[in-house]
Amino acid sequence: MITAFSNKARRLPSRLWPGPARRAVLALALLASGAGAQADILGAEYADPTTRYAHGVLGDAVEYGTLVIHTDRMDGLSLRMVLPQDRVFEDLAPRLIDVDADGDLEVVVVESQARTGAALAIYDDTGKIATTPHIGTRNRWLAPIGAADFDGDGHIELGYIDRPHLAKTLRLWRFIDGELREVATLGGLTNHRIGEDFISGGLRDCMGAPEMVVASANWRQVVAVRFDGTGLLAKEIGPFSGPASFDAAMACQ
């Protein structure tokens, strides 16, 4: 299984998320009380734009305070996951991924906390089910790459670049037994430049095995990275000369 995150989709302006246009929602408090049966997730989106976390790494100061999850509930209601005031979704768009390989989708997001910065989190129709640790400092971010069973062991791994402008470290996490466990790291890589409203690269499968496509830390090379079950293996696959370089790499050219 290979799931490319929606990294090429540019950040949507907040005006595209008007309150009156949203579907009817079911408050998370109702979920906590056990109301309703478990539902399959059909889609997700961010709502409630906010400027309470003024980082602006994606080109503006607007983030999101709510995750709306659309399900196959017979009553047509969606689920509304509202963050506390010290957190935001600092992200492009929610990503739908079957992280536990059970046939049902979960939602993967970037969630930032006012003092400790970003983390990768997974939600289902009951709420947050797993998260990586937050980076540890405010205004420190991570840029997702994609998710796949990289080593063929039946478990899904999720990759991101930790602080793509500073640490420039690829981190790979495996979802297993209901939690995310870090399985590998590799420095000297990035996939985002400050102010860009998109994330570069993603996942490809050119030779029968999934690879993460990112850039070298100095943005001179496009790099493909595999995970063999023990470590991350990187190779330069061509010079970086603009976004078209990633398009060619993703198309296995």
**Closest to 250 measured CA to CA, from 190, 205, 183, 185:** 205
State in Å, rounded, how far the first CA of the chain is from the last one.
22
pLDDT, residue 37, reads 53
3-state secondary structure of 96: strand
Tens-digit pLDDT profile for residues 144-188: 999 999 999 999 999 999 999 999 999 999 999 999 999 999 999
Least-confidence region, from 9-13, 70-74, 128-132, 193-197: 9-13
The pTM is what?
0.87
In this prediction, residue 73 carries a pLDDT of 83
CA distance to 106, 110, 200, 220, per residue, from 194 (Å): 28, 16, 12, 17
pLDDT at 8 over 70: no
Chain segment 184-231, per-residue pLDDT in tens: 999 999 999 999 999 999 999 998 999 999 999 999 999 999 999 999
Q: For residues 132 and 138, what is the distance between their CA atoms, to the nearest angstrom?
A: 16
